[in-house]
Amino acid sequence: MITIKIRLTTVLIITALLFTLISCGPAADNSGDLNSDLNSNVATTRSSAVSTTETSPIPNYSLTVFSTNDIHGNLDALPKFSTIVNKARAEKSNVLLVDAGDFFRKGPYENFQGKIEIDIFNKMGYDAVAAGNNEYDVPPDIPGSYYTNSKNQISNIIRWANFPVLNSNISLHETNKPDEGLEPYTVKSIGGLKIGIIALACKDNSDDIRTYRSSDLALAEILPEVKKVSDIQIVLGHDNMSVLRNMKGIGAILSGHEHTATPYPFLTFEGRPIMQAGGEAQYLAQLDLEFEFLNGTWELIRYSGKLHSASNIEADQSVRAIVEEYKKQPIPYK
In this predicted structure, what is the pLDDT of residue 99? 98
Q: Which amino acid is at 6?
A: I
Contact predicate 240/258, CB 8 Å: yes
In this predicted structure, what is the pLDDT of residue 251? 98
In this predicted structure, what is the pLDDT of residue 33? 26
Going from the C-alpha of 246 to that of each of 160, 194, 220, 237, 258, the distances in angstroms are: 34, 24, 10, 12, 16
Flag whether pLDDT at 16 surpasses 60.
no
Contact predicate 251/194, CB 8 Å: no
In this predicted structure, what is the pLDDT of residue 206? 64
Q: How far apart are CA 73 and CA 281, in angstroms?
A: 9
Contact predicate 100/69, CB 8 Å: yes
Range 188-213 average pLDDT? 90
Flag whether pLDDT at 323 surpasses 80.
yes
Mean pLDDT is lowest, of 123-132, 145-154, 198-207, 284-293, for 145-154
- How much is the pTM? 0.82
Flag whether pLDDT at 164 surpasses 80.
yes
In this predicted structure, what is the pLDDT of residue 15? 43
Q: How far apart are CA 165 and CA 108, in angstroms?
A: 22
DSSP letter for each residue of 112-146: GTTHHHHHHHHHHT-SEEE--GGGGPPPTTSSS-T
Helix axes 78-91, 115-124, angle to 10 degrees: 20
Range 280-294 average pLDDT? 97
Task: Render pLDDT for 232-286 as a digit per residue (tens, 0 to 9).
Answer: 999 999 999 999 999 999 999 999 999 999 999 999 999 999 999 999 999 999 9
Q: How far apart are CA 279 and CA 198, in angstroms?
A: 21
The mean of the pLDDT values for the chain is 84
In this predicted structure, what is the pLDDT of residue 138? 87
3-state helix, strand, coil in the chain (%, to 5): 35, 25, 40
- Please, which pLDDT band fits residue 160 given cuts at 50, 70 and 90? very high
Those residues whose C-beta lies under 8 Å from the C-beta of residue 239, and which sit 6 or more positions away, are 200, 201, 202, 215, 255, 257
Pairing of strands 170-172, 193-201: unpaired
Flag whether pLDDT at 321 surpasses 50.
yes
Flag whether pLDDT at 131 surpasses 90.
yes
- Please, which pLDDT band fits residue 205 given cuts at 50, 70 and 90? low
Q: What number of CA atoms fall less than 13 Å from residue 53's CA on the CB side?
A: 19
Mean pLDDT is lowest, of 66-80, 191-205, 224-238, 309-323, for 191-205
Range 15-27 average pLDDT? 38
Flag whether pLDDT at 32 surpasses 80.
no
In this predicted structure, what is the pLDDT of residue 208? 81
Flag whether pLDDT at 48 surpasses 60.
no
Contact predicate 133/204, CB 8 Å: yes
